[in-house]
Structure 1
Amino acid sequence: MAKESFDKEIQFLRMLSLTSGAYNRKQYAERLGISVHTFDKTQRRLKEIMQTVADQRTGSEQNKEMAELVRFQYGESAEPMLLFLFRAKSMKETEVQRLSVLLHTLQDQALTAMELLDACCAELPEELALPDEKTIRSDLKYLEEVGVIRKEPGGRPYRYLLQQDVLTGLTVEEQLELYDFVDIMANTQVPSVQGYLLRDSLKKAIAASYPQEEATEPFIYKYHYYSRILDEAHLYTLLSAIRQRKHVQFLYYSPKKPSSYSSQNTNPRFEREAGGRSNRIVPLEVVYDHQYGRWYVIGYQGRRGFVKFRMEGITQLEEQDSIEEEYMLELKQQWAEISRYSWLVDTGNTVTVQARFFHPRDGQRNFILDRVRLQGQWGTITPETEHTFLYEIQVNGTTEIKPWLRSFGSSCEVIAPQRLRQEMIKEWKEIAQYYESVREDVQLSDDDEIE
């Protein structure tokens, strides 16, 4: 899959999952910055991938609209459908066929590259081009790097064997326990894509002993943040660039803009200005926002200084040249000082926030205090009365902490700063208006009286 194609399909799926079919084809195309023809072509490709990966789909579902296929039902959320795009990422049909033959051949015995070349030539379909020795050695190097196969001890010619000790060395019961652990971690921790892929591999391994579906699906998770999985496509590229101290270049589409993508036009007659903005930064840190399920990348950009980008707006991400280790260390130290009091990534003026929290009534477990201790970061907690306690913290601005305080509802009262207190009062008054009786001033006629 081409790089541009993957970026386009990420934005395509993001919009479908967030709008659930609320737009028509033309509106989707305009929002994505592509033509209706490209929209239809992308939809057909994604449906083909989905139907190839999801073996459980029946023929009656093939005519469904894409928006219907990506709607998330509670009972189906244990299998995040957005994951099918990662299974097909960067894999051409010839690569899929070739790697499948290699892995199947290496299951039972260790073989050399030339023996694997003969196996590929014998088993690949006639319509596919036959690989050469260089291609097979490149595939073996890739599979060894990702830990799927291992090189056996001994001299040349090297022999390779499938790396499956983690399964063959475990009993069936231990495999099931490992599956349950991976299932829980993949659904509750970040990042999660690799965990889902590992879970699927384990499910196939234990299917022979536990054919019933209930054994491998004891838990059902309600998946809220669809963008979290999609944004992980950029995560490992950025982490690699941070480790290797490299610049990255990308095209960025601000969430405030009407368009979230624009196609790359190769025909000069139809060339138009892209809706995104080109950026070249030194990435320093990746931050995950648990409140909204968003990924952020922090970087340094010359004259603009330290910058922050939401990863959902990043496309065409590429690694570039590297920088000196001393310079990278200096930038990280500067950012650590600037973000010292950031609730998340805010770099505004430092203010002191004070709030009064109220304990639950009727002798319930004090989940309010437990949550403040867990999520309150470096804030301090001071007992006040039998029913209340005070919370105080220094933060860079109040924009990011306000939703957290508001989420406690009537169990939290903001004391300072005064500006934040007034903002909370205004917001709660607006919310109260939503619950006023809408029929309070409606006069019923005699015919409309309710018996």
Structure 2
Amino acid sequence: MAKEGFDKEIQFLRMLVLTSGAFNRQQFAERLGISVHTFDKTQRRLKEILNGVYQHLPEEQRKQLSDAIQFSYYESSDPILLFLFRAKSVKETESERISLLLEAMDGQALTAKELLEICSASLPSYLPMPDEKTIRADLKYLEEVGVIKKEHTARPFRYRLQNDLAAGLSDEELVELFDFVDIMANTQVPSVQGYLLRDSLKKQLLRRQSGSAAAEPFLYKYHYNSRILDEAHLFTLISAIEQRCKVSFLYFSPKSEKSYSSKNTNPLFEREHAGQHVTTLPLKVVYDHQYGRWYLLSNSKIGIRKYRLEGITQLEVEDAVGQLPFEQKSIELEQRMTNSWLIDTGRPVTVRARFFHPKGSGNNFIKERVLLQGQWGHIHSEDESSFIYEITVNGTTEIKPWLRSFGSSCEVLEPLFLRQELIAEWKEIASYYESVREDL
């Protein structure tokens, strides 16, 4: 599977979810930076897989990709990225061959030559016959992802299916494990690997024909689809950080008019793109719970840089750097982020705000929320009607939406420029309702 294609489908599905089918073909293609022909080709491919996944849908709904995703939204607890992994994980020929290999190794250990004979005898005639090199490459891939393991260390190596955990559990224990993984995958961050484990356990339950597998006790649906899609790059970046490797990618900022550009291999058709080529040293990955976004914090020649994972395409891992310079850059980043509400590394500023207790309510939910979400800030000067909250943060950009979300229950006292900004914003909001009130 080409990484270019995976990026394209990620951005395709992201736009489909965010726009809910509001764009026509031409607008959709222009936003993605692809031709209408490529758009149609990608949509046809996704429709084919969608029809296989959601066979329960009426034919009219399956004709439109956006309608199929919309109408099956609450009928499937599988995230949209898992759907994409199913679509792009392996080629059709690889899928047939790997399925035969896994079936053959279930319950017995076999050598590469024995598996080659089984594949040659069982593959359909219209598919190309593999050689021993291809089989060994498949075995290496399956071993890396943890699906199989070597039975003996001496040559010739024998391989068998690694399903000891699931095979050693009773039906009741397997159901309990599935329920636990289901809860954790849908409530914790990150969760893609949990979804993949959940998918494997569900298949194991169905193989046993357990009645409990069909009736899932929980049904989750996470609404931040962009967060799930961003996790396609997350573990590559975490691995690069652990190995102190630089990464390179084509980046599209949130303000960019396009969100994707194809990787041209033919110089005759090479064209300029709206993205920015970036080579940088990743230091930290941060998740924003408020907006459901992932951020990459890295170091380059011009200092600390921040990137939203949703704009990263064509991600490649480069050479590693020394341990000492990596640690120095990491320490510098941590020092700059000491007072970051999220990832801001600007100049520290002290914010003071008055929060008003809710009237006529026995539960002081305002104070509870400030204590829960206020991070290292502290409360002082409390009386019967209000309390003062104070915190020192790097800039006011990131804390401003949090303060604004309290509405009339929060009054910013300092700094003066933040107070004036919020006064102007509330006046603008009030002006939106003046004409409506006159009409009424």
Q: Which amino acid counterpart does residue 271 of structure 1 have in structure 2?
A: E
How far the C-alpha of 1:74 sits from its partner, in A, is 5.7
Return the letter of the residue paired with 2:438.
Answer: E
Which of the numbers 305, 308, 320 marks the counterpart of 2:306? 308
User: C-alpha distance in 1, partners of 2:380/2:176?
Assistant: 42
Find the aligned partners of 1:14 and 1:157 in 2 and give their Cα distance.
47
Pairs within 5 Å for 1:18-29: 18-29=18-29
Equivalent pairs counted in the alignment come to 439
Contact 1:83 1:229 in 2 (8 A): no
Pairing partner for 2:332 from 318, 331, 334? 334
Structure 2 residues not aligned, in runs of 5+: none
Residue-by-residue CA offset, 1:130-187 (whole Å, 9 max, x unaligned):
2222222222222222221222246332322212222122222222222122112111
Q: Quick check: 256-265 or 203-212, which moved more? A: 203-212
**1:86 matched to which residue of 2?**
85
CA distance in 1, matches of 2:166, 2:331: 43
1:393 Cα deviation after fit: 1.2
The match for 1:288 is: 287
Mapped to 2, the partners of 1:154 and 1:317 lie a distance apart of: 35
What SS does the aligned partner of 1:23 have? Answer: coil
Give, in whole Å, the separation in 2 of the partners of 1:427 and 1:51: 47
Please give the alpha-carbon distance, in whole angstroms, between the structure 1 residues aligned to 2:62 and 2:145.
37
SS of 1:71's equivalent in the other structure is helix
Match of 2:10 in 1: 10
Deviation at 1:413, TM superposition (A): 2.4
SS in 2 for 1:369: helix
Alignment correspondent of 2:347: 349
**Match of 1:299, as an amino acid?**
S
Matches of 2:288 and 2:72, distance apart in 1: 24
2:173 aligned residue: 174
Offset of residue 239 of structure 1: 1.2
CA apart distance, 1:213: 6.6
Change (3 A) 1:371 1:335: same
Shift of residue 42, structure 1, vs aligned partner: 0.9
Query: 2:324 & 2:154 partners in 1: Cα distance?
Result: 41
Q: Which runs of 5+ in 1 are unaligned?
A: 443-451
Identity over the aligned pairs, expressed in percent? 64
Report the alpha carbon displacement of residue 41 of structure 1 after superposing the two structures with TM: 0.7
Secondary structure at 1:184's aligned position in 2?
A: helix
Match in the other structure for 1:449: none
Task: Write the letter of the residue equivalent to 1:17.
Answer: V
Map Cα deviations across residues 192-221 of structure 1 (whole Å, 9 max, x no partner): 1111111111122223454467622x2233
Q: Which moved more, 1:27-36 or 1:358-367?
A: 358-367
Corresponding residue for 2:232? 233
Q: Corresponding residue for 1:163?
A: 162
The residue matched to 1:297 in structure 2 has which SS?
A: strand
The aligned residue for residue 401 of structure 2 is 403
1:49 matched to which residue of 2?
A: 49
Mapped to 1, the partners of 2:418 and 2:260 lie a distance apart of: 36
3-state SS of paired residue (1:391): strand
| Cα distance, 1:425 vs structure 2 | 2.4
Q: 1:165 to 1:370 in 2, by over 3 A?
A: farther
- Closer, same or farther in 2 for the Cα pair 1:267/1:209, shift >3 Å? closer
* C-alpha contact (below 8 Å) 2:245/2:319 kept by paired residues: yes
TM-superposed CA distance for 1:352, in Å, is: 0.7
Following superposition, the deviation at residue 269 of structure 1 comes to 4.5
User: The residue matched to 1:76 in structure 2 has which SS?
Assistant: coil
Native 8 Å contact 2:245 2:281 kept in 1: yes
CA distance in 1, matches of 2:263, 2:111: 43
Aligned to 1:445: none
Partners of 2:118 and 2:170 in 1: how far apart?
32
TM superposition score normalised by structure 1? 0.90
Residues 348-393 of structure 1, C-alpha deviation per residue, up to 9 Å, x if partnerless?
Answer: 2110112223344445444333332332222223361234333211
**8 Å Cα contact 2:33/2:258 also seen in 1:** yes
TM-score (norm 2): 0.93
